[in-house]
Amino acid sequence: MSGPLTDRFGDYRLDRRLGAGAMGEVWLAFDTANDRAVALKVLPATLSRDPVYRTRFDREATAAASVHHPHVVAILAHGAIEGRLYIAMDPIDGTDLATRLTQGPLPVAQAVGIVAQIADALDAVHDAGLVHRDVKPSNIMIDADGVARLIDFGIAWREDQTSLTATGATVGTWAYMAPERFSGTVSRLSDVYSLACVLYECLTARRPFGDADPARQMHAQLTAPPPRARQVVRTVPRALDAVIADGMAKDPSGRPHSAGALARAAQDATRPRAVRTGLLVGAAVLVLVAGLATAHTLRPAEGSTHPDAAPTRSQPETTVPKPAAKFAATATIPVNSAPRGIAVDSVTGSTYIVGSDSLAVLDARRTLARTIPLSGRPRDVTVDAAAGKVFVGDIDGGVHIVDTRTDTVLGTVATGGYSVGVAADPVARRAYVTDLGDDTVGVIDSTTNTLSGTIHGIRSPVGIAAYPSGNTLYVTNQSHRTVSVIDTRTDAITATIPVGAEPIAIAVDESKGVVYVVNYSSESVSVIDTTTNTVTATVKVGYAPQAVAVDAARGLVYVAQYTTVTVIDAFDNTRVASVPVGTSTSGPGIAVDASTHEVLVTNEDDDTVTLISANPR
C-alpha cells in the first residue's frame, strides 16, 4: 500500500482522519479483530521501505509499548500492514494542546500543571531508555477532566543510538528542537528543551521563536536567547521566565537534569515566596534562616550538571551595597522604539542608542537631540571618536555608518550573514563586526567606509572588543563556551579561552588589561587577564546577564540584566550593588560615560534609558 489511505487498513476501519504530517497520518479507527476503537498512526511509505528504519521502529515501538504510565498514551499494537508501518494507540476523548492554544494563553497554574503531567510522562519514557524527539503541543492531548497525555512515538529514539535516521536527516518539529539536535546529538535533555518551549507556548499562545521558515527557526534555536513569556503576558511571574531560560539553555549541561526537575522548578516559581523559600516554624529557626538567606539564594538548582550551569531562581540576586559606595537610578529618559545597543562618544559626551528602526542621539545634557532613521534591523553600536563616526551592526547583514558631526548616515556596508556585535579600533582605523550567520568577523576601513576584509574560522561570534588597539580582538563564541583571541595583523586566531555557557557580551578595562565576558546561561561574568589569556575569576551575577560596561577610573564593572544592573568591584571581583531599572526582557544595552561616571542602560520594553549615578565617596 503506497497510495493515500481511504477507508480500510488491514483489520482497521478508518473512520476519521485526525491529522497528517511529514511523519504520517493519524486516524480515529476501529480495530475489527479486537472490537475496540483506536488512534491509528500510519507512517509514510518511504520510511516503511527503509530496512534500517523498520528494524529500529520495531525495537523502539516495542520499548514504547512497555511504558505504562497515566500520562503516556498506551500503545496497543504495532507492526506493518501491506508494507506500511503503523502504531495503534488508546484513543483519547479530548483536544490536543495546540488546538486549545488557538484560543489564547493558559492561566499560569494550568500551564504549569500540564507541563508537570507531561514531565512525569517523559521521565517514564526516559527511564525506558527512549527519547521522544517530538514534544510539542499537538502531541499532548487534554481530556475533559484536564488530564494530559503524551502521544505519538512514531519517531522515538533510544538514547544509546548515534544517528538520527538511516540517511542522517533531522526529524522532529523545528520550532521545538534543541540546538544539539541539528548536529545529530539526541538525549533526554533534548526533550527537556522541547518541554520548556511548550511551557513558553502555554503561557503566551506563541511559539518560542515565532512561525518563521525552517531556516530562521534553526538559526533562532542555535543563536537567539530564550524568549521571555512575561514580555508577552505581564501576569507571568518573572521566576517562570528563569525556568524557561534554564530549560532552553543552548548547552544541554545548563538545563535541568530531567523533565521532572524542570516541572518542579516551574511549580516552585509559581508558589508564594514564603513557600518557595521554605515554611519554617520557631523564632530561633527564623533568625538562623534570615542570616543564611544569601547562601540559600546562591545554591545551584537541582539538576545542574556543569559547574558553571545556571541556577533557577525566583528573583535576580541582590547584594547589600558596600557602605563606601552608593548607586541609584536618577533619571528615566524616553528615547526611540525598543532601544538595545548603546554607546557614549568620549569626545562630545553624546550618547547613541540603537532602536528597532532608528538611532537616537542624546546630547551631553542627556536630552534627546534627534532620531536618525535606519533601515533593516539594527542591533549594536560603537563609536570611533577619533574618526567622528558611529558604526551600527544590523542583523539583516550590514553595518550602518553615521557621521557624528552631522548626524547623517554616510552609507551601509554589506558584511554578510547576521551582523550582531561591533567594535571600533581607532588606532588601526578599522571597525569590526561579528557575523553570526557566516561565522566570520567583517573588517571595515573607517577611512573609506568599505569592507576591507573578512576573518574566518570563528564559531558563533557575538560580542567583540578591540584590545590592545591596533593588533588584537577578543570575540565571544556563543555556542562554544569560548572566547577567541585574534591577531588583526595576520587575521590568525592566537588563543581560545574557555569561559561559561553562552558568552554573548564583552568589555575591556584598558587600564588593567582585563576583559570581562558575560555568560548568559551560566549567569556569570568571566574575568580574563589579557597578558596570559586565562580566566582569573568567575563572578556569579544572577538572572539573564546580557551586557557589560566598565568604569576603569573607578574600578567598577556594570552588568545589565533582566530588570537590574549588577555592580562589581573590579579590584576584588565582588558584587557590591544591584540597581533596579526598567523592563528589558529581550536584551538590554549598557554604557559608561567616562567623564561623568554615569551609567546608561536601555529598557527595551519601556522605550527608555535609565541613568544611574555612582557616588563612591
Q: Which domain CATH number covers 259?
A: 1.10.510.10
Q: Point out the domain boundary residue: 283, 298, 313.
A: 298
Ranges 39-53, 82-96, 586-600: which has the least confidence: 39-53
DSSP alpha helices (H): ranges in 170-282?
188-204, 214-223, 229-232, 238-247, 259-269, 273-276
Q: pLDDT by residue (tens digit) across 503-536?
A: 999 999 988 899 999 998 889 999 999 999 999 9
Strand partners, 431: 424, 444
Question: Greater confidence, 135 or 52?
Answer: 135
Q: Point out the domain boundary residue: 36, 65, 89.
A: 89
In the chain, pLDDT over 90 holds for what percent of residues?
51
Backbone angles phi, psi at 350, to 5 degrees: -70, 150
In a domain, 312, yes or no: no
Q: pLDDT by residue (tens digit) across 219-244?
A: 888 888 899 998 889 889 988 999 99
Residue 332 clears pLDDT 70, i.e. is over it: yes
Sole residue written with cell 551601509: 412
Q: pLDDT by residue (tens digit) across 49-74?
A: 777 778 777 777 787 787 888 898 88
Residue 168 clears pLDDT 60, i.e. is over it: no
| CB 585 within 8 Å of CB 562 | yes
Region class of 408: left (phi > 0), else alpha (psi between -120 and 50), else beta:
beta
Identify whether 120 is a catalytic site residue: no
Instruction: Clarify whether residues 245 and 218 are in a common domain.
Output: yes
Mean pLDDT computed over 470-499: 94
In a domain, 304, yes or no: no
**Per-residue buried b or exposed e for 67-79, using 16+ beta carbons within 10 Å of the residue's own CB:** bebebbbbbbbbe
Q: pLDDT by residue (tens digit) across 248-263?
A: 999 898 899 999 999 9
Strand partners, 19: 26
The SS3 of residue 551 is strand
Question: What domain count does the chain have?
Answer: 3
- Predicted local confidence at residue 512, as pLDDT: 87
Sole residue written with cell 562554544: 480
What domain range includes position 544? 326-615
Grid coordinates belonging to 442: 567583517
Rank 138-147, 152-161, 480-489 by mean pLDDT and report only the highest.
480-489
In a domain, 308, yes or no: no
Mean pLDDT computed over 100-121: 94
Question: By C-alpha distance, which of 307, 301, 183 is closest to 250?
Answer: 183
Mean pLDDT computed over 150-160: 56
In a domain, 75, yes or no: yes
In a domain, 309, yes or no: no
DSSP alpha helices (H): ranges in 29-81?
45-48, 51-65
Instruction: Clarify whether residues 373 and 401 are in a common domain.
Output: yes
Q: In what order do the strands lie in the sheet with 94-96?
A: 94-96, 140-143, 148-150
Catalytic residue among 134, 394, 425, 438: 134
Instruction: Clarify whether residues 285 and 345 are in a common domain.
Output: no
Q: CA-CA distances (angstroms) from residue 553 to 512, 530, 557, 565?
A: 10, 18, 11, 19
In a domain, 316, yes or no: no
Q: What is the CATH number of the domain that holds 58?
A: 3.30.200.20
Q: pLDDT by residue (tens digit) across 169-206?
A: 445 678 899 998 888 788 899 999 999 999 999 999 99
- Predicted local confidence at residue 325, as pLDDT: 52
- Predicted local confidence at residue 67, as pLDDT: 83
In a domain, 314, yes or no: no
Instruction: Clarify whether residues 330 and 435 are in a common domain.
Output: yes
Mean pLDDT computed over 212-222: 79
Instruction: Clarify whether residues 495 and 379 are in a common domain.
Output: yes
Instruction: Clarify whether residues 284 and 138 are in a common domain.
Output: yes
- Predicted local confidence at residue 587, as pLDDT: 66
Question: Greater confidence, 227 or 1?
Answer: 227
Q: What is the CATH number of the domain that holds 479?
A: 2.130.10.10
The SS3 of residue 175 is helix
In a domain, 319, yes or no: no
Question: Percent helix, strand and coil across the chain, each rounded to 5?
Answer: 20, 35, 40
Instruction: Clarify whether residues 72 and 107 are in a common domain.
Output: no
Q: Point out the domain boundary residue: 89, 104, 136.
A: 89
Instruction: Clarify whether residues 84 and 117 are in a common domain.
Output: no
Residue 434 clears pLDDT 80, i.e. is over it: yes
Instruction: Clarify whether residues 109 and 83 are in a common domain.
Output: no
Sole residue written with cell 573590579: 570
Question: Greater confidence, 404 or 151?
Answer: 404
Would you mind telling me the total number of residues written for the chain in this entry?
617
Question: Greater confidence, 397 or 554?
Answer: 554
The C-alpha atoms of residue 414 and residue 202 are separated, in whole angstroms, by 39
Instruction: Clarify whether residues 503 and 584 are in a common domain.
Output: yes
- Predicted local confidence at residue 221, as pLDDT: 87
Q: How confident is the model at residue 22 (pLDDT cuts 50, 70, 90)?
A: low
Instruction: Clarify whether residues 583 and 457 are in a common domain.
Output: yes
Q: How confident is the model at residue 310 (pLDDT cuts 50, 70, 90)?
A: very low
Q: How confident is the model at residue 284 (pLDDT cuts 50, 70, 90)?
A: very low
Q: How confident is the model at residue 295 (pLDDT cuts 50, 70, 90)?
A: very low
Residue 283 clears pLDDT 80, i.e. is over it: no
Beta-sheet pairing, 524-529 with 534-540: antiparallel
Rank 69-83, 220-234, 412-426, 590-604 by mean pLDDT and report only the highest.
590-604
Q: 136 among the known binding-site residues?
A: no
| CB 528 within 8 Å of CB 535 | yes
Q: CA-CA distances (angstroms) from residue 198 to 83, 97, 445, 558, 586?
A: 34, 10, 46, 34, 19
Question: Greater confidence, 584 or 35?
Answer: 35
The C-alpha atoms of residue 95 and residue 321 are separated, in whole angstroms, by 52
The SS3 of residue 63 is helix
Strand partners, 568: 557, 575
Instruction: Clarify whether residues 400 and 519 are in a common domain.
Output: yes
